[in-house]
Amino acid sequence: MKILITLLSSLLLIGCASTPKTILKGSDPYTESTPVSEQLLSVPDLDQPVITIAVYEFPDRTGQRKPSTKFSQLSTAVSQGPETYLIDALKSVSGGDWFKVIERNGLDHLIKERQLIRSTRTEYDGDLESKNILKPLLFAGLIIEGGIVGYDSDVKSGGEGARYFGIGMYDQYRTDQVTVSLRLVAVQTGEILLSVSSIKTIASYAIGADVFKFLDLGTKALEIEVGVARNEPTNYAIRTAIEYAVLQMVEKGEEQGLWKYKKEVE
């Protein structure tokens, strides 16, 4: 009985010493925003009229499935709606004062709704020339193209462990990598004004401890194992990479004279 208590105490001490505090608390540091989100909000004001920009689609061009060492999975490795992160990043630049983002991803729905309004007014009001006439759709001078162009799994992996008299502990890690590309296209000429890309690693970490002992002169076996793993959310990595690409686009555009920062009056 004393041996059992000793082994359990050792295992608990190993587990508590190895478990990160963030996992013990159950907190998630990625729920609100990314570090790049704060940088986007801190971009200086724009010293010109607001830039009208359109995002048609921002697809997953990797074709990758979720990595698995046991069997082939059908689920995709990355989000199939990354354009939502791109639009949110554009609307976040300097608190939303830089870009006027036009709806193009759901353009079919928008046009159908406008047609429905026109047909309803014609049928019941008898005239389209009313005070509540639909305003013309805005057009964009710039379009953002690109997408998620790369997803590499198990770029780097490793770990370490030790065992002594049937008591052991280990830790393992693995990193994946996602690559995002953005192109800024001028509508009037079709010229690619800017092209940027960003890479974000996706970290996974696991720690654990185990005990394997024979008790009562080898007639009974005791085996205990405890462990915990932390996988960085893939969507968080994609959002961070997209936001950083937008930040690069803003900075490079200012360097090339496509737009100007508003200078503070001294």
CA 89/CA 87 separation, integer angstroms: 5
**pLDDT reading at 7 higher than 60:** no
Average pLDDT over residues 7-21: 47
By C-alpha distance, which of 33, 28, 18 is closest to 239?
33
Average pLDDT over residues 19-43: 61
3-state SS class at 27 = coil
pTM of the model: 0.76
Q: Where are the domains of the chain?
A: 2-21+28-104+140-255
pLDDT digits (tens, 9 = 90+) for 192-218: 999 999 999 888 888 888 887 777 666
pLDDT digits (tens, 9 = 90+) for 225-253: 888 888 888 888 888 999 999 999 999 99
Residue 20 has what pLDDT?
A: 43
pLDDT digits (tens, 9 = 90+) for 117-172: 888 877 776 655 555 677 888 888 999 999 888 888 777 878 888 877 778 888 88
Average pLDDT over residues 24-34: 51
Fold classified for 2-21+28-104+140-255 = Rossmann fold (3.40.50)
Residue 170 has what pLDDT?
A: 81
CA 171/CA 167 separation, integer angstroms: 14
Confidence band for 266, pLDDT divided at 50, 70 and 90: low
pLDDT digits (tens, 9 = 90+) for 49-101: 999 999 988 888 787 777 666 666 666 777 788 888 899 999 989 888 899 99
CA distances from residue 256 to 104, 240, 253 in whole angstroms, order as listed = 27, 24, 5
pLDDT digits (tens, 9 = 90+) for 160-195: 888 777 788 888 888 888 899 999 999 999 999 999
Structural contact between residues 166 and 159, judged by C-beta atoms closer than 8 angstroms: no
Residue 189 has what pLDDT?
A: 92
**pLDDT reading at 221 higher than 90:** no
